Amino acid sequence: MSTRPSNARFRFQLDLHSGVPVYRQIIDQTRGGIASGSLTAGDQLPTVRQLAVDLAINPNTVVRAYRELELGGLLETHQGTGTFISTQKMKRTDAVRERQLAQIVSDCVSRAGAAGFTVDELIEELRGLASEQDRRR
* Side chain identity at residue 124, one-letter code: E
Q: Using only the alpha carbons of the chain, give its radius of gyration.
A: 16
Burial profile 11-29: b = 16 or more Cβ within 10 angstroms, e = fewer: ebebeeeeeeebbebbbeb
Instruction: Please enumerate in sequence order all residues whose Cβ is within 8 A of that of 74, keeping only pairs 6 or more positions apart, or say none.
Output: 30, 31, 34, 85, 86, 90
Cross-sheet strand order for the sheet of 75-78: 44-45, 82-85, 75-78
pTM (two decimals): 0.65
Was domain 2-85 assigned CATH 1.10.10.10?
A: yes
Measure the N-to-C terminal CA separation of the chain; round to a whole number of Å: 27
Q: Would you list the domain boundaries of the chain?
A: 2-85, 94-136
Which tens digit of pLDDT belongs to each residue from 100-137?
788 888 888 888 888 999 999 999 998 998 888 777 66
Which tens digit of pLDDT belongs to each residue from 35-92?
888 899 999 999 999 999 999 999 999 999 999 999 888 999 988 899 999 987 655 6
Q: Contact at 8 Å (CB) between 31 and 3? A: no
